[in-house]
Each structure stands twice: as structure tokens, then as C-alpha cells.
Structure 1
Amino acid sequence: MSSVHPPELADLDLYAVWVSAAELTDRFDPFRFEHRMAAYRQLIEATNAGGLFGADNRDNPLWAWTFQLQWQCRTGRLGATAHADGAIDPDSPWAYGNYTLSVVPWLGAERAGVVAPLEIADAPATARFRYVRGGVVPDELAPSVEQWQRYFAMVEDTPATTDFEPLRIALWKAHKTCLDVVVTTIADIDPAPYAPLELTFLRGWCRMVDYLGAAAWRTDFGFMTEHGLDVLPEILLEQRSDMRRLPDSVRRNVANVLRLATTSPRRHALNLGLWRRIMRTRAARDEVLTLLDAVFDPRRDNAAARRRVIGHLLRP
């Protein structure tokens, strides 16, 4: 397996697990942290066989998934012991969400011929979520496998380019089909052993991802390391007072995510529809950082950006 990666990776906490991730050869056990990371590493490297995403693979849009997995493990969201022993709790809502975004893409890549088929290990015990069992994909996840297959097939058919937005659009479409299943699945579950606030945060994060997907948000290495790190809480959220322990920028982001989670379905659908209209042009998507800040954190110093939001919304 190739080890090509952006040189800046060595400066991140992701580096240690990245370089130690052994290649999956016979079996993919998604209830082991190191296996999920190894799967991402193989997908990132397999999709750059022709150098599509640069000599050091920095433009590969799958990098964001590695950072998310590392954050979830580091902060205890994959289970109480995952950071220490690598065991992922099949009953953890965050772990289930990441399962749909690791195993399902892997299966899509298999069908597209990007990676070799592997045995997918069953959950180690009876679990409250539905997983691939005996090689059979749950019905609710089967359409997502097809969407990921389309994404990986598109990567294989893409010639050398400097415009990766069409690939990002396809990737976010596949990503959303997974999270739609997650949102439905966790709608009425008992949050224990996690606090209700933590589950609310997960629901809100799924909704926030709808906004990112509508903007074809960049998920390559450079963009993520500049704009996508240090924006999520490094602690589990037990109660609202925990937010006082967070850095200002993280606290504002968490507050926005929690606000999204508690917005009524009808209002959320309306707001998201308006956002999608705003993001329908390349010009708007190119300034998504500024416009997203203006929508979610209106202040005196971003009044001009809010006026541009209205301009994009009203544009014929």
C-alpha cells in the first residue's frame, strides 16, 4: 500500500494512527477503530492511483472522514474505551453514524472495483442498531451503497482536473443518504449512557451537514486543516453549563448546532430550502465560509455578507 500523504500530516495527532494502520487484506472489522481508519486510508490511496488528487493526495475529498473519525475516538464518542483499546461500542449513536460513513462507502467502492472485497465482521453482540450481518446489507442502507458506488465510479472516470466540485457534489449526495438513515434511526432512542444533550448535538450535527452538503463544502486535506479542525467540542456534552468550558469559536459552533437540532422539522425544511437556493450558483458556493457565518452568526461586522446572502437568494 502506498504511503503518499501531505507532509503536514506529520504535525497532526492523526498521523500516528494513519501510519500505523495496517492494510486490510481479508477482513474488515468495523468495530475496531484501527480497521475503520485503515479502510479510510485504503480508500484515499486507492482513489488516487493515477494522481488525480495530486502527487501527495492532498486534494482527495475523503480526508474529512479521517479527521471526523479521529475526533470521535479522541473525545469518547465511539465508546468509553475506544481511545484506549480501539474497541468501538456498537450501541454508540456516533459510532453507528460513522459506521454508515465507513462501511457503506467501502461497500460502494468494492462494487465500483476500487478496492478488493473483504469480509465485513458482524457486530460483536446484540446491538440496538442494524448493521451488515452475514454479508447482508440492511434494506435502509442499500440505496446508500448504490450512491457511494456511483461516486467511486465517477472518480475512476474523472480525467486530470483542477475542478473537483462535481465530485464533491456526488460525494455529498452519497453522504446525505447515509445520514438521512441515521437521523431516522436515532430519532427516538434512549440516549443512555450518553446525556440527552449529546444526542441532541448529534442530531443537530446531522442537520448542519445538510447545509455543508448543499454548498459542496470542500473536504480535502488543505481546506480541512485550515478551516475544519478545532471547530467541534473536545468533551462530551453532559449539560449546558459544559459549554462554558469550550473556546469561544467552538462554543458558538456548538450553540448553532444545538439550535438546529431543536428547530421544528417544518422550519428546518424551509430554512434548508432557502439555503439551497442561495447555494445554487458557483459564485455563492465559492464564498460559503463567509455566507455560512453570516447566516448562523449575524453580527455588525458581517452585515455586508448578509446583504450578499439576500442577493444570492433573490437572484433569478
Structure 2
Amino acid sequence: MAVLASWVWVLAGCFSAAVARISNISVLYPPFWEESPEQLSDYRLEDGKHIINPWIFTDRMGMYRILLTETATYFARYGPENEQNLLWGLPLQFGWQYQTGRLADPTGMRDCGNELEESLCISVDSWWADVNYYLSVLPFLAAVDSGIAGLSPEQITILPPPKDQMRFCYNVSGCQSAFPETMNRWRDFFQYMQLPSSDFDGLLKKLWDAHTLSLEYPTRAFVDRYNFYSDQEASFEKNWAITVYYLGEARLPTTLIRAHSFQRGLPPRVLDDIDIAPFIPDFTPLQNKVLVTLNLLGDIDRYSGSLSLTIWESLMSTKFARKLFLNAFEEFLGTSP
């Protein structure tokens, strides 16, 4: 226990210094963070229920903000200002999707997300938006069901999209019935978080277990969305989903500063057919390099029948190996301390 306690304080000290180097940590927050609901009462109340429309950007972001707010106390021992909260990776990734136009209607048939007056609209035709639904609504409902937010599921109404309503779930009972293992994994994460014996690496494992399992259904269910994109963007979507499984096995720490810095290498816009990495002129050298790497990883995974993932899982089975990978990963991205 003494060794564990010492490790925790060293970790907290290191990240306290990192936070101190950023005079205003709020500059790292995802877009419209301050404008998004921070508590359930910030949502519209109708017939005694708070109405959440996850097809409006700030409404969906608000679910993340509530989760970050309500879980802050459990991460306080790891660093100041909630910076070490492992849930930061979710809203930051969602924010990147918004900023790069990936939540907008990809068919060009509707204004959703493409016009100023519809800028906060999330299109149900967006592959990114549909997959993210299972990484926002499900963890939020699992947290509510776990008692994290001190809320009752009966207090919440999740609105459906304008079409394809049967592809989604909208409440604790419905999501539990349709995706029992995924909901249980998220519930395990939130329940473990509340234990005095919980530790940072254990939280990372449970978070990534829930995260990767959340991808299994939507990445199969929404393959039809690939038709709305260029071949290059569709390929990126497939490779990104594969990459997440490898990052999950490495238990990449999704804290605020790290998750923000990791995203520097992601494409800043939707890819066109003429975008061939590493020769995309309006992308940075790092963004081109990341795309080449994801293409390579995707090909290896497909050609090996995911045997490469099994081997990778074995390689990442120790904390020492994961630490080596994190150092190499940060060196690759140019984000190492």
C-alpha cells in the first residue's frame, strides 16, 4: 500500500506541474463546453421529465459535462482541476468530430450541420454521430443507473432521431435489454470508481473495456453510412475503429491534457477522394503520418484476421510494456514531456 500511495502522489505531482504550465486549462475544453448543460436541470423540463435531444450538439455534449462534473471527486486524488478524469477523451473526441464537420449531413441533401442556423444539428446519416451515440448515451444512462449523478432514470427522456429510430435505444431498460454486456461494462466502471480501493490503472482498464465493447454494435450496424463518404473517408472510419481496439489494449490514458494533445494528429476535415496520405498538402506532416500509420494498421489487422490484435493484447499485458508504448506513442506524436 505504501508503494501504491507513493506512486499516486508522484503521478499527481507530475500532472500538477503539467497543469501549472497551462495558465488556463479551460482552453483545452471541447467546443461549446461552457454553453452545454452542466446539470440535469439545465435541460428543458416537460411533464416532469428532463428532455435530452442527443441530435443537438450541446445536448449531447451536456451529457459528457454532467459525467465529468459528477465524477470529479473520484479523480481529485490524481491531480487538480479534474484534469486526470479519464472521461475527458469522450467529449474531446466528440468535439473534434464537430470541428472537422464529421457530425454534419454527409449526403448533401439536408442543412443539418452544414448551415449556420443548423450548425449544432447532428445528422443521423453521419457514421461518426451514430457510433458516438453509443459512447455518449449508453455511458450516461449507465452512470445514472449506477447512482453516480444522484438521478433517477425516470427523470430523463432521450429523444429519437428523425429516422432509423429502431437502431438506437433511449432509456436504461431499453439499452440494458438491447446491449446488456455494454451497459454492464459501463456500470462496472462507474461502480469501481466509487470503491476506496480503486486505482488509476484499474480505472483505465475498465474504461477501455467499456469503450471498445461500445463499438461492436454500431460499427456493424452502420456500414451503410460508408456510402455517403469518399473512399478515403470511409477507409479512415474503418481504420479508426480498428485503431481504437489497439489503443484500448495499451490502456492509453485519456486525461484532458493527453487526450487533447493526442488529437493533434487527426485529420482536420472530412477526407476527399483526392486525399492520398502522405501527400495531402493542407494537412500537417504529423496528420499525414498518422493517416499512413492508420492505413497500415488497418491493413495488417484485416489481412491477419485480427491475429495482430491478439498478439498486441499479449504484448500489452504488463504495465511496463504499456508504459513503453505510451512513451513511444508520445514521441511519435511529438507530445512527450
If the length of structure 2 is used for normalisation, what is the TM-score?
A: 0.76
Distance 1:96 1:139, change over 3 A: farther
Counterpart selection for 1:147 from 154, 168, 185:
185
Distance 1:87 1:158, change over 3 A: farther
Distance 1:126 1:134, change over 3 A: farther
1:42-72 per-position Cα deviation (integer Å, ceiling 9, x unaligned): 1011112353454411110011111101100
Cα distance between partner residues in 2 of 1:238 and 1:138:
38
Verify the 8 A CA contact 2:300 2:308 in the aligned structure 1: no
Counterpart selection for 2:126 from 92, 100, 107:
92
Cα distance between partner residues in 1 of 2:225 and 2:87:
31
Match of 1:287 in 2: 324
Find runs of 4+ consecutive structure 1 residues off by over 4 angstroms: 290-294
Aligned residue identity for 2:36: A
Match of 1:39 in 2: 63
Match of 1:110 in 2: 144
1:112-140 per-position Cα deviation (integer Å, ceiling 9, x unaligned): 10122342423232228711147622855
Distance 1:110 1:52, change over 3 A: farther
Aligned residue identity for 2:25: L
Q: How many residues align structurally? A: 286
Verify the 8 A CA contact 2:122 2:129 in the aligned structure 1: yes
Match of 1:275 in 2: 312
Aligned residue identity for 1:44: L
Match of 2:34 in 1: 19
| CA drift at 1:13 | 6.3
If the length of structure 1 is used for normalisation, what is the TM-score?
A: 0.81
Verify the 8 A CA contact 1:130 1:138 in the aligned structure 2: no
Secondary structure of residue in 2 paired with 1:126: coil
Q: Work out the percentage of aligned pairs sharing the same amino acid.
A: 26
Verify the 8 A CA contact 1:32 1:86 in the aligned structure 2: yes
Cα distance between partner residues in 2 of 1:158 and 1:199:
44
Aligned residue identity for 1:9: I
Runs (5+) with no aligned partner, structure 2: 1-18, 42-49, 106-111
Match of 1:203 in 2: 238
Cα distance between partner residues in 1 of 2:239 and 2:165:
21
Match of 2:222 in 1: 186
The reply on whether 1:237 has 2:277 as its aligned counterpart is no
Cα distance between partner residues in 2 of 1:190 and 1:229:
24
